[in-house]
Every structure is written in C-alpha cells, then in structure tokens.
Amino acid sequence: MVSPEIQSTFDYLFDTAAKALKSNRSFAPVASALMADGERTHSITDLRTLSSQPAEHIIALIDGLRTQVGRGGVAAAGLVFDSAAPPDIQGGASAICVHAEAPGEAVQIFVAYSRDRADEPVFGEPVLQDALARIFTA
C-alpha cells in the first residue's frame, strides 16, 4: 500500500508511458511532480536524444526534481523509464519502471510488458519494491 500522492504519481507516469509505448517501440524518460496545491508538473530533458544514454536523462530529471523539492511545495515526485524488470521479480522482462517518492516514502513499481501480434503492448500486474530516496534526500 502506498500513499495517495505516490499512487497519483504512479498513475500519471504509467499512463504517460503506456500511451508512448502504444505509438512507439520505446520512450524517453519523463518526470513529474505533484505540488501541494494539486498542480502537476511534467518534465523531459533537452539532451541530444540520439547521442545520449537513458541514464543521462534519468540523472538530469532527478536533478530537476531535487531542485523543485528544494524550492518547496512538492508533495510527491517521480520519473518513468523503459527498463527490464529485476530477474527475481518478473524474469527480466521488458518493463515500465516508475520511481516515485513522497517525504519519507520511496518506491519503484515495475510493470512488465510484451507485444501482441498487432505489436500493441500488453501489460502485466504492477510489482512494488521499496527504493532508496533519490529525490527527497534532505
């Protein structure tokens, strides 16, 4: 069970990734913050997509979220990226990974997916893991 702020962040980021996978084979990492007033921000990186690595995007997004948290008013934040599920969880299958945090709470949620005959993504059940805080670190 996660907090409502984490659930809202997961829902937003998973929906964003699922839509991207329906029209593309993969997607660039995306970040989002839920502000205390209910506003939601959406962030991408402006790195050179063709020459940069996904890890560079993830680091840049985390840095941006940390900056937002430092300014105050962030209730929850997270990012989503195309990944592989840990072998002990879903056998290393292709997965959407959502890393979501709120003060005192950090999780990673993996949702494995495969492609059907029409090349549409078919999603498995979400698997939750506790994670180290990367955004709310102070």
Residue 48 has pLDDT above 70, yes or no: no
Give the pLDDT confidence score for residue 111 in this predicted structure: 95
The upper half-sphere exposure of residue 138, i.e. CA atoms within 13 Å in the direction of its Cβ, equals: 8
Mean pLDDT of 39-62: 81
In angstroms, rounded to a whole number, what is the distance separating the alpha carbons of residues 116 and 137? 40
Question: What is the rounded distance in angstroms from the CA atom of residue 123 to the CA atom of residue 119?
Answer: 12
pLDDT at 78: 98
Q: Is the pLDDT of residue 138 over 80?
A: no
Question: Can you give the pTM of this predicted structure?
Answer: 0.91
pLDDT tens digit sequence for 73-103: 999 999 999 998 888 777 788 999 999 999 9
pLDDT digits (tens, 9 = 90+) for 52-80: 677 888 999 999 999 999 999 999 999 99
Phi-psi region of 22 (alpha: psi -120 to 50; beta: other; left: phi over 0): alpha
Buried b (16+ CB within 10 A) or exposed e, 10-29: bebbbebbbebbeeeeebbb
Give me the pLDDT at residue 47, please.
62
Residue with tokens 């907090």: 3
pLDDT tens for 4-22 read: 999 999 999 999 999 999 9
Instruction: Count Cα atoms within 13 angstroms, Cβ side, for 74.
Output: 26
Q: Which residues on neighbouring strands pair with residue 84, listed in sequence order?
A: 94
- Buried-state track 97-108, b at ≥16 Cβ within 10 A, e below 16: bbbbbbeebbbb
CB atoms within 10 A of CB 47: 14
